[in-house]
């Protein structure tokens, strides 16, 4: 069963470990969207009023004077829809612009903080591919030097990197390559 209550925005607590640093351009887009079109989506808070999702929206809502919050209490078993009674998607240009502003601002205002992500106790492989994680967490100098040394090998023409879940899988892959006559060596052991 869902319940609603009214609170002030200042009663909510921002996520101190929010991994999205945001961008200057994105913050301006969120603020402009709130100023020009009003609130278009909800934010998500935990049972203590700490913001799980929508930290940047809450920051900018305060900046434009949107101080009142309607809290819909739910256990997550039902989708919560925010209905704007002043907009008609078929006939209102503002509704169409709000749809674009909402999605585009979210895209532009995303800048991951790798240090915060590292400190969160979650499996990041659920959310990023190994290639994406490599770009978020560039190799340290020792690993870069190993890659450089490997690349300078006279017999090496092309290079691939294969992520293994553990040492056993790495050993199995190296054995398999060896039996197929493929030259391979571990970068990290």
Identify whether residues 123 and 90 lie together within a single domain. no
* pLDDT in 10s for each residue of the chain, 189 residues: 678 999 999 999 999 999 999 999 999 999 999 999 999 999 999 999 999 999 999 999 999 999 999 999 999 999 989 999 999 999 999 999 999 999 999 999 999 999 999 999 899 999 988 888 888 888 766 766 665 665 555 555 667 788 888 888 888 888 888 888 788 877 764
The total number of structural domains in the chain stands at 2
The answer on 16 and 63 residing in a single domain is: yes
Among 62, 81, 113, identify where a domain stops. 113
Please give the structure tokens belonging to residue 156: 């090496």
Q: Which domain holds residue 22?
A: 3-113
Q: Does 189 map to a domain?
A: no
Return the pLDDT at 145: 67
pTM above 0.75, yes or no: no
| 125 and 100 within one domain | no
pLDDT digits (tens, 9 = 90+) for 153-170: 555 566 778 888 888 888
């Amino acid at each position: 069963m869902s319940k609603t209550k009214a609170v002030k925005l200042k009663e909510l607590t921002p996520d101190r470990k929010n991994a999205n640093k945001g961008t200057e351009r994105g913050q301006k887009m969120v603020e402009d969207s709130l100023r020009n079109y009003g609130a278009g989506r909800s934010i998500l808070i935990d049972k203590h009023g700490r913001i799980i999702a929508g930290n940047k929206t809450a920051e900018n809502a305060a900046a434009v004077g949107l101080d009142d919050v309607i809290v819909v209490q739910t256990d997550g078993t039902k989708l919560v829809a925010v209905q704007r009674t002043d907009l008609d998607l078929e006939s209102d240009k503002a509704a169409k612009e709000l749809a674009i502003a909402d999605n585009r601002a979210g895209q532009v205002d995303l800048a991951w903080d790798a240090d915060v992500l590292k400190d969160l106790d979650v499996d990041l492989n659920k959310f990023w591919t190994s290639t994406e994680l490599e770009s978020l967490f560039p190799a340290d100098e020792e690993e870069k030097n190993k890659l450089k040394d490997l690349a300078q090998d006279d017999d090496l023409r092309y290079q691939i990197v294969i992520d293994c879940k553990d040492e056993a899988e790495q050993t199995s892959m190296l054995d398999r390559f060896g039996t197929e006559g493929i030259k391979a060596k571990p970068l990290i052991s």
